[in-house]
Structures are given as structure tokens and as C-alpha cells.
Amino acid sequence: MIPVAVTQRIVVDPVTGEIRLALDVRWARFLAAAGLIPVPLPLEAALARQVMRAAGCAGLLLTGGNDLGEVPERDELELSLLAAALARRLPVLGVCRGMQLILSAFGGVLQKVEGHVGVQHRLADGRVVNSYHNWGAVEAPREFTVTARHEGVVEAIRHRVAPVVGTMWHPERTDPFDPADLALFTELFRSSDESRHPGRGAWFAHGRPHVGPAEVPAGDRREDSA
């Protein structure tokens, strides 16, 4: 099985105030079905990069949970990991918040969307997917192709050059797992494992990632984002 680095959501224990990292148990089952094995990452960026290298991770999965701007430490970690993965030509796949972070890093703008939390909806191609997000984009940065939409909202993206993909739906929450999602993960990360070309630079529009344009205003953050 191929190891893939996986970021985690941050939760605070209401009794002790302890800060914890958490990952939906369904991710392990989903990734295993795609021939992959998760390598959960710590919150410290330098240590997380060391873990990725030591484990020989074939790519980076940016998972859901925590609105952008809600937990700055996570934003900083994932932007750092995204830049590092791009510099090493490792594939990156962002799910829900993960896709939002990718859009933000390339200068995309998020806006509030209605009717996208805890529902199933149909994409333009007829596929039905789950939805758990309050924020979305209606346009993608010029570096990306929009590969799925729902009523004008961008639901999936693919970088035109780099191995970077994003989906707003949660493939790990689909029961049974959708073969199309499994194939996407297998194709993206297995190709990297078979042939890697590190050290060829990154693909950020302005040379570095940034959160600013798409940061969710503090007063509008929602706990039910996934």
C-alpha cells in the first residue's frame, strides 16, 4: 500500500481545554480501498515535513473541518505543506476545506453559499454527491480547470499543470464508496509513487501561497463546516 500524508482537524476538549488533532475513521477505510495508507500529520510544520519524508509519502491529502481563519495554526501548517508538496512535485488532493485552502493559496475568493450543508445535490454532469460546506467559490483561479459545478458553485477543480486536485464533497462519507472517487485517488497518488521528479519548483500564481483573499470573516465562521 502507498503512504499518503493526511492533515487533521483541530478540536478543543470542552472539559480540559486540551487541543487535539482528529481524523474521521472512515478515511482509513476509504484510502485502504484505493490502495493507500494514511500517515496522519502533526500540527508543527517542520515536524510534519519530516514525517512525510521519513514515511516516503507519495502525496498530500488536505482534509475537511475548521473554516479557513478559524484555526490559524492549521492554516499555516497546510499552506506550508502545500508549498512543500508543490516544490517536490508531489500530488495534492484537497477535500472540502482542503479544496478551499488550495483555492485561497492561488488567490481564489470564497463566498457564503446557501443550501450546501448536510445535503445531497446533483452536479452538472448528473452525478449526486454529498455537501457539508457554508463557503464556496463561483470561479477558480486561472491556473485551474473547473471539473464540476452545482448551480454555479465550483465543486471540483484540477490544476492545469501541477498534480493538484480538489473536491468539495467528502468521498469518505459515501456509503458505499464511489468507484469514481477511488479511481481518482488511486490514479493521482499511485502515479506519483511510481515516478517522482523532485526539485522542479512550485506553481503558485505569485510565487507563494496566501490566505488573505479567501479568508472567512471571523464573525461568519460556522462550526458545522466540514
Phi, psi of 109 (to 5 degrees): -120, 130
Helix or strand or coil: residue 121? strand
Q: Report, as residue numbers or ranges, the catalytic residues.
A: 96, 170, 172
Asked whether 187 and 194 are in contact (CB, 8 A), the reply is: no
State yes or no: pLDDT of 95 exceeds 90: yes
The predicted model scores a pTM of: 0.86
Asked whether 81 and 5 are in contact (CB, 8 A), the reply is: yes
Of the listed ranges 57-61, 183-187, 218-222, the least confidently predicted one is 218-222
Q: What does the mean pLDDT of the chain come to?
A: 86
* Segment 58-86, tens digit of pLDDT: 999 999 999 999 999 999 999 999 999 99
Which domains are assigned to the chain? Answer: 2-220 (3.40.50.880)
- Mention every residue, 6+ apart, whose C-beta is less than 8 A from residue 114: none
- pLDDT at position 194, please? 60
Residue 221 binned pLDDT confidence (cut-offs 50, 70, 90): very low
Of the listed ranges 28-32, 95-99, 106-110, 190-194, the least confidently predicted one is 190-194
Instruction: Check residues 177 and 130 and name the one with the higher pLDDT.
Output: 177
State yes or no: pLDDT of 180 exceeds 50: yes
User: Residue 217, Cβ neighbours under 10 Å: how many?
Assistant: 9
- Rounded average pLDDT over 108-114: 87
* Segment 113-172, tens digit of pLDDT: 877 666 788 888 889 988 887 888 999 999 999 999 988 899 999 999 999 999 999 999
- Rounded average pLDDT over 171-190: 95
Give me 139's grid cell.
470561479
- pLDDT at position 191, please? 77
- Mention every residue, 6+ apart, whose C-beta is less than 8 A from residue 48: 5, 41, 42, 77, 80, 81
Kind and range of the H or E run holding 188: helix 179-194
